[in-house]
Amino acid sequence: MRQPLFEDSRFAVVCKPAGLMAHASPMARDEDDFLVDRLRVQFGREVMLVHRLDRATSGCVLVAFDRDTAAALGAQFMQRDVEKTYLAVCRGWPDAHGVIDHPLDGGPGRPLKKPAVTAFRRLATGELPEPSGGFPTSRYALLECTPETGRWRQIRRHLKHSFHHLIGDTSHGDGHHNRIFREHGVTRMLLHAHSLAFAHPQGGDRITVTAPLDAQFERALAMFGWSVPTAPG
């Protein structure tokens, strides 16, 4: 694991690599390598995940070193006081900014739908000389996504709902566009938890942490000459 993006005596923010499960679950029956276990070795102490990212998503993860801190930070997530900003590459050119307001269920075995809202801002657009849908080129966009709720695979499913499928998403994406990126050497899902902003559990000072992109995500941006803002917003 890389060095923490931020470390305090009670908590830390780390950068989870794409492809690593956060913790053991029924969806990871045959795996024995998890983020939380790596962090316990790295920090040499108990580590509790305050929130989670999908296996295929990279970026900021907040962890606590004791139960009181985990509860205090978890309460900020429950009260929606944590600002989470993601970078995503999608098919098509969405509006310059907008809000996707579409209820989502809780995943397998949880059919009840609950309100789900994702705001987005289009950072850049580009095209590749690859035929698609009867057109001679394929259009793509770099988005900054801010989920206002925390439903299962929310950004991925909201982008599918809006017909701007996330590139590299093998569950909710578009196979044709995923293949185009694989042929250019980009094999990961292009969703990255770029930044977290939250109040320090002691004192309340606002902390903002940004996670760097990995080489695969950087390669995808280089295909279009895109750059990423150094800070959210």
Query: Would you name the residues annotated as active-site residues?
Result: 54
Residue with tokens 């310059």: 96
Strands 191-199 and 58-64: parallel
CA distances from 76 to 117, 145, 155, 197 (A): 18, 19, 20, 10
**C-alpha to C-alpha distance for 164 and 120, rounded to whole angstroms:** 12
Residue with tokens 């994406």: 173
**C-alpha to C-alpha distance for 45 and 12, rounded to whole angstroms:** 12
**C-alpha to C-alpha distance for 9 and 60, rounded to whole angstroms:** 18
The dihedral sign for the CA sequence 221, 131, 145, 152: negative
Three-state SS for 204?
coil
**C-alpha to C-alpha distance for 95 and 118, rounded to whole angstroms:** 14
Copy the structure tokens of residue 182: 């694989």
Q: Which amino acid is at 215?
A: A
Copy the structure tokens of residue 159: 């982008």
**C-alpha to C-alpha distance for 55 and 28, rounded to whole angstroms:** 10
